């Protein structure tokens, strides 16, 4: 980041302390964006041979040019910077960032845009500040199986002359390619997102991909008739007989359907879940509420050390997945409920409260009414898992006003080479 005549300029490819020649590419109301043209003074933290050279135009790997130990230090400083904005969080210790088991090839899921023409398809992500699609055939962050599927899909589109959707004309069939990998079995699921049924085209494309990449065990089709940028529509159709994959985090097994939310870095997810279990310090007598439980990852990691775990999730399909996952792992002291989080927390509180509440919200953080409902139950401890240091700090400040002291925060690098960081925070109820 740099400043020019009072405007904050975000410079892609630059590191703190460097002197750069940069070209402004976009000027917004509050900040401007620029690409690095030339580096006049290099940082000692600069990686001399990054695994990818698309950093100037790709938003996927904002820290690829930085050595990995420096990335971990940068992420700790990012978390601390957000915390120092609140007087209630000044004294909170921010631990050293725990690194990912793998720095590259860790992403088990990719959601990619399909563009171009059927004789020259492009599969990738949007270029920075544009709607142009950047080809990423050999992404360094993707599991190698994803890259194999992308190449096969391109060849299959060409061979089958599959019409590609054009958002300007709103014509065409194929919109997105979603690939998910179950690492332990080395099997993949492919979801072809289309504007219409396209029965024959999709069956031929699915067959071509499976022949080219035998590890593809599941192919499904999702029909999205909207004109916006939302990837999935409401209608699904199975193309293969197999409809789900079995994936693992640690020793826990998870059933994955096309819409299941699953952590994109299984190795780092295991670190986070084990950290939650460590901070929970359960003795087998506790009642735990897992809010925003998704498909039950944290719930299942806590179940064998708790008396009871109640998972809460707004999305009914996720609750169905979580229930299946509990059965797959032979866990009988977990149950899951779908609905509004604040309302369900109030109900559960009336039924007997909780000894520990885990919060794991999406990037926007928790609604304040959820935090108030949690505090009203007065659990002795809260564990907050967050993918946004900014909303985490905001919510911890609110919880401070509701009687909770943040004891520590542990950053975990779920997304190496990117500017994102996951955090696990432990809160304790202040004694009156």
Residues tagged in the binding site annotation: 263, 292, 313, 360
**Residue list, annotated binding site for S-adenosyl-L-methionine:** 263, 292, 313, 360
What token pair was written down for 186? 């080395």
Angle at 145 between CA 264 and CA 137, to 5 degrees: 95
What token pair was written down for 151? 């190449």
What token pair was written down for 289? 């509420």
Select which of 139, 293, 334, 387 is catalytic: 387
Token match 């398809």: residue? 121
Of 119, 113, 338, nearest to 231 by C-alpha is: 113
Would you list the DSSP string of 44-91? TTB-SS-S-S-TTT-SS-TTTTB-HHHHHHHHHHHHHHHHTTSGGGTT
Cβ partners under 8 Å of residue 47, min gap 6: 64, 65, 66, 67
Residue 148 falls in which region: left (phi positive, over 0), alpha (psi -120 to 50) or beta: alpha
Cβ partners under 8 Å of residue 5, min gap 6: none
What token pair was written down for 184? 């332990």
Beta bridge partners of 10: 33
- Is-catalytic flag, 61? no
Residue numbers annotated as active site: 387
């Amino acid at each position: 980041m740099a400043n020019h005549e009072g405007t904050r300029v975000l410079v892609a490819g630059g590191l703190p302390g460097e002197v750069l020649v940069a070209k402004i590419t976009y000027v917004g109301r509050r900040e401007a964006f620029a690409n690095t043209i030339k580096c006049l003074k290099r940082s000692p933290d600069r990686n001399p041979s990054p695994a990818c050279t698309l950093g100037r135009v790709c938003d996927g790997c904002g820290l690829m040019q930085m050595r990995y130990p420096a990335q971990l230090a940068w992420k700790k400083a990012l978390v601390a910077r957000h915390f120092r904005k609140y007087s209630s969080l000044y004294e909170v210790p921010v631990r050293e960032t725990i690194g990912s088991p793998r720095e590259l090839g860790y992403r088990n899921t990719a959601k990619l845009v399909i563009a171009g023409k059927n004789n020259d398809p492009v599969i990738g992500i949007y270029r920075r500040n544009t709607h142009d699609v950047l080809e990423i055939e050999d992404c360094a962050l993707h599991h190698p199986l994803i890259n194999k599927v992308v190449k096969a899909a391109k060849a299959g589109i060409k061979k089958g002359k599959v019409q590609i959707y054009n958002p300007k004309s709103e014509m065409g069939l194929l919109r997105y390619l979603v690939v998910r990998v179950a690492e332990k079995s080395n099997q993949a699921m492919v979801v072809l997102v289309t504007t219409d049924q396209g029965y024959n085209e999709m069956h031929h494309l699915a067959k071509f991909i499976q022949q080219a990449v035998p590890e593809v065990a599941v192919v499904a089709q999702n029909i999205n008739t909207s004109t916006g940028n939302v990837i999935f529509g409401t209608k699904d159709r199975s193309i293969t007989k197999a409809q789900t994959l079995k994936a693992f985090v640690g020793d826990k097994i998870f059933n994955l359907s096309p819409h299941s939310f699953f952590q994109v870095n299984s190795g780092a997810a295991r670190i986070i879940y084990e950290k939650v279990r460590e901070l929970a310090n359960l003795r087998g007598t506790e009642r735990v509420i897992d809010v925003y439980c998704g498909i039950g990852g944290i719930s299942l990691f806590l179940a064998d050390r708790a008396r009871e775990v109640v998972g809460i999730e707004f999305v009914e399909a996720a609750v169905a997945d979580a229930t299946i996952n509990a059965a797959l792992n032979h866990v009988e002291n977990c149950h899951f409920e779908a609905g509004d989080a604040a309302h369900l927390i109030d109900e559960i509180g009336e039924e007997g409260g909780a000894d520990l509440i885990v919060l794991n919200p999406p990037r926007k953080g928790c609604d304040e009414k959820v935090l108030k409902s949690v505090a009203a139950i007065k659990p002795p401890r809260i564990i907050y898992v967050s993918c946004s240091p900014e909303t985490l700090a905001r919510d911890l400040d609110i919880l401070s006003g509701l009687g909770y002291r943040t004891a520590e925060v542990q950053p975990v690098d779920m997304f190496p080479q990117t500017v994102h960081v996951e955090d696990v925070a432990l809160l304790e109820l202040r004694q009156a």
